[in-house]
Every structure is written in structure tokens, then in C-alpha cells.
Amino acid sequence: MCGIVGYVGGKNTVVTLLDGLKRLEYRGYDSAGIAVVRDSALLCVKEKGKVACLEEKITREWPDWMEMTGCTGIAHTRWATHGAPTHDNAHPHMDGKSRFALVHNGIIENYAPLKKRLQEAGCVFKSETDSEVLVHLIAEFYDGDIFQATASALKKVEGTFGVAVISLEQPDTMIVARRGSPIVIGVGKNENIVASDVAAIVAYTQRVIFMDDDDIALVTKDSIDIRNIDNVPVSREVSSIDWSVDAAEKQGYDHFMLKEIFEQPDAVANSIRGRLDKANVSATLSGMNMNPREMAMINRIVIAACGTSMHAGMTGDYYFEDLAGISTQVEQAAEFRYRNPIIEPNTLIIPISQSGETADTLAAVREATNKGATVSAICNAVGSTIARESGRGVYLHAGPEIGVASTKAFTCQVTVLLLMALKLGRGRRMSREAGQQILDEVEQLPELIRQVLKTADDVRRVAEKYADMQDCFFIGRGYLYPVALEGALKLKEISYIHAEGYHAAELKHGPIALLEERVPIIALANDIPGKDKMIGNIQECKARKSPVIATATIGDTDIDGHADDILWIPQCSKFVAPIVTVVALQLFAYYVAAKRGCEIDQPRNLAKSVTVE
């Protein structure tokens, strides 16, 4: 989940690395550090806290840092796993003689016995991290070839890694390697830049190479030599990034999260562009790479995902069963491979991941592939590991999502799942008339979302009224049940309020004991099937003196007198209601967090991409 940046070229190395770290800070912000080779010395500065703290320390310790051009350097922003977020545990780590510096993402599972052996051999460790083991191993194996030393060290470790290494011994060279943790190489002119995410690269080049597991690359300013861990040359294609650096800027918004909430009309429009097959009243999803006969033979779907993506998958469960008549289940991806899942013939596995690098979801992909399943992924990041290893699927085309709390990825994931269900349904039992209704509503989605965004000031006023709450329950039924879970997740992620999502019928099976006048209820009471029962649930909450904030369909008077406050949602069917309604809940969470003065884009203890188990 941490961020890695490395640079070799003629620009100011420190400026380039700091710029990259700032663009990757959403991947970890417990501590940060930088190391450069300069004037026959390996220099390192690191600091607890955010990248701004590191920049201040660099200014104090390297007063001429604005003149440090032509150096080779690496940098890191950390999300702590092994060891607390302290100065000593921050990356880069160096060997005892300060000849090698290393930054590492991932987890070295066998670090304890390796560390013990190295300590017995005289190595002195300065941190509590598993990562420091690697730099001592590289120093131990070095005999004049930094590539071979790195390869030999990596052969000794078990676990996952994305690493970048620089050395006094070969000052114009950087070594990068990956296994289970992403590394991408930006191909420049008289310079090359590496990172754990393309967000750090697009300001310099849009030509990139995505490394595969067990690739090791020797990078200079003029060359990129990629081999496998056994020193055999491998070929990796150069890809193009389809978004510019402007897409990863705030562009006048106070926070990335707010910008990304307001980007959703365009993001959803991009997700559906070219995919509405009006002639056949279906969807065009060529990335699934399945012919009509293969699709017709699917008799079971398993969706594997985590967090927000899992909530999107739960909505997909309704779509596939209602529209296509296919039995569907949603699996928490972390449990998928450990519970020895049953993969029958004609089972379609759909992994969902915004980043395409989520460790648990990637493990589910590999387990499903090993069991012979057909895998079709839903990802946002082009060239990501899950997308490449699945070999088929659907990209969201939502653009970069920088805010840690996912917003536009969720709405685009649910939109794509609806299109998949439409396509599968039209190949089975769905009539043209039913398909046309879905197609028409999908086409209207961007405008429906814009209508919700126009109520932002009204949502803000309601949110600020309840900003002092300490506990909150979200309840929903049917298609809005997963939205209740997602709404609660958004609120807890960025405001640190204890929020829980429940199926409305579950409220009386325990949680109702916690209701009182200080515990608000957010009740999703849109005018879709299940509304009458939801009104009954609202009355149960009001009887316990809990204030109720309801979502309701514009023009529906049935909620009047039942709710204390209402977030109005435009008229739409149950199929698109989840996509439209969640936007109001995203705004609600944002404005609550803003009123409380929380760090919205970088909430405590969280990181954007969970690349460790």
C-alpha cells in the first residue's frame, strides 16, 4: 500500500522524487524518505509524518537540494505494517556500510529467520521492519553485480515485494523488481522514472512498462533491461496511459474526494460510452471475450471483492439473478481461496478491484484460474495485475481516483455490472421491452447523478446538523441494502464516526437495542419495491426516539411526517436507484467530515490500494 518512486536522469532528482511522493501520498502517509547517490556518497533523509514533513527536513539538511541534478534516487511514502510509523522504520533502508539503499512495498513473511541469521553474521539492524532484511541480504550477496545481488537476495525471501535499489557501487543504475506488489517503469528521453503507481509518472511520460511477477529491471537514464529472477531476458511491451496529469489534480476543489464525487456524471458517461448496443437492445462488452454461446452456458456467477468493491458486487448479485436468472454469490476475496471454493463447470468468476492490485482479490483470481474457472475482471487501472492476469474483463474508464475513500469507482462498478447483467439477460430470458427500459435508464444515469449533485447545498445543511453524532445506522432493503453498507463505510472512513449498515429487517434483531435520541438513522426509503416496509422500520426507529434522515424520491409524499430530514433523489427504477442514491450518501459523509475538520483525502490508518494481505 506504500508508495515508491525512483528516478535516474538529468532533472533535479529531489524535486522529481518529492513530486512523485506527493502524487502517491494517498497510498501511505505514516512516514516518508528519500535517498540519492551524489558526489560519491549515498545520502538519505527520512521523517515521520507526511511528505511535507520530509520536505521541510530536506530543506534543513540539504540546503542546496534545488541544485541536485543528474543524481540517481529513490523515495518512499509508508503505510506501516511491520513496526510503528517512526523515523527508524521509515524507508529507505541502508546496509551497515551505507553502500546500498532500498525501498520496499509488500511483506517478507520469512523475515524473522533471515534477520536472526544476518544478526548472527554481524549485521546491525536499525528498524523493526521486515524490509530492512532485504538491503542487508543484497549487501551480503554483492560481488560486483548489483543485479545478481538483488536477484540472489529475492530468491531467499518468501512473500510479496515491489523494490527499488540504488548503490554507491553502480551510481548510475537503479534496480527494480516485483512479486505481488506493483511496479511500473516510465519510459522517458534521457531519463527513466519508476513508481508503484502511474500517478507518479504521468507528469513526465505517458509511455510505461508494467512489470510482471519475478521481473527484475536494470534501469539507467538511457536503457531498461528486464530479466526474470533467473537472469533470463524477458520482453515487456510499452503501454500508453490514457489520462493526463491534470486528471490527478484538485482543479479548484477543496479535496480530491469532493472533486471525484462531482466527476461522477462524466465518469459514468465514460463507463457506458460505446457500450450501449441499441440495435440489439443489449450491451457491447468486447473485453469479456465471450461469444453468445459461452455466455448462455454460464449457470453460476461468483463475485470476489473487498470493501467498496464488495458492496458494488452485492448490487451485481441482484442484477444477475433478477435480470439474467443466473445464481450468484458474493465472496469476500480474502476468504475465497482459504475456504477451498467449489468451482463448477460454467462458473464465471468476476473479481472487482478499482486499483487492480488488491492483494486478496488477486489471490482469488489466481485460485479461480488454478481451478479452471472463467475469470472476467472489473478494474479501473489499465495494465493492472488483476486485469492482465484475468486476460478478459471490463475497464471502468473512470479516470484516476486519488481520494482514499472510493466514490466514482463504486458508481462505475455498479454501472458496469448492470451492463453485464443486461448483456447476459438479453442472451437468455429478457425481452426487448425490458432490455430497452434498462438501456434507457443507463443512458440517463449521468443526468440523474447531476440532479443529485445540484442538491449538494441541501445535503450539506443536513450533514452539518448531525456532524456531532458519535454513532449512526444506515438501513436499506433490496437493491438499496448494499448502498446502506456503502454509505456507512464512507461515513466511518472519513469522519471517524461509528457507522453501521444493516438490512432494515435486521435492525430489530439486535441493533435496535442501541437506538436513542443521540443515534441517528439514515433510512433509504426511495419509491421502489420495499418502501412500505421501510416506512414501518422508520416508525420503529422513531418510537425509540432516534432521529431519521431518509432518502426519498422527489414528489413522494409518503415519507412526510416520518423523517426528520430528507435527502431527495430523482425518480428512477430500482435498477439504477443504487447508483443515484449513493451519490447523496457520499456528499453526506463528505460534509459531515468537513464540518468535523477531518483529513478527508488521507483518513487515518487507511491507504488507497491494499496490496498486502
What are the catalytic residues?
A: 2, 608
With a CB cutoff of 8 Å and minimum separation 6, the contacts of 199 are 23, 24, 248, 400, 402
Between the alpha carbon of residue 505 and those of residues 473, 510, 548, 562, the distances in Å are: 13, 10, 16, 18
Measured CA to CA, the distance from residue 29 to residue 51 in angstroms comes to 7
**CA torsion sign, 77 to 80 to 86 to 90?**
negative
With a CB cutoff of 8 Å and minimum separation 6, the contacts of 89 are 31, 78, 80, 82, 83, 127, 128, 129
Burial (CB count within 10 angstroms: exposed 0-12, middle 13-18, buried 19+), residue 454: exposed
Nearest to 264 by CA among 607, 579, 569: 579
Question: What type of residue sits at position 264?
Answer: Q
Question: What type of residue sits at position 138?
Answer: I
CB atoms within 10 A of CB 390: 24
C-alpha cell of 86?
A: 517512526
Whether the CB-CB separation of 91 and 34 falls below 8 Å is answered with no
State the residue for C-alpha cell 540519492. Answer: 36
Q: ∠ at Cα 231 (228, 233), nearest 5°?
A: 65
Measured CA to CA, the distance from residue 214 to residue 149 in angstroms comes to 14
Whether the CB-CB separation of 412 and 398 falls below 8 Å is answered with yes
The distance in angstroms from the start CA to the end CA of the chain is: 10
Whether the CB-CB separation of 189 and 157 falls below 8 Å is answered with no
With a CB cutoff of 8 Å and minimum separation 6, the contacts of 451 are 570
Between the alpha carbon of residue 343 and those of residues 327, 348, 421, 489, the distances in Å are: 13, 9, 20, 30
Whether the CB-CB separation of 387 and 377 falls below 8 Å is answered with yes
Question: What type of residue sits at position 312?
Answer: A
Q: ∠ at Cα 56 (52, 58), nearest 5°?
A: 115
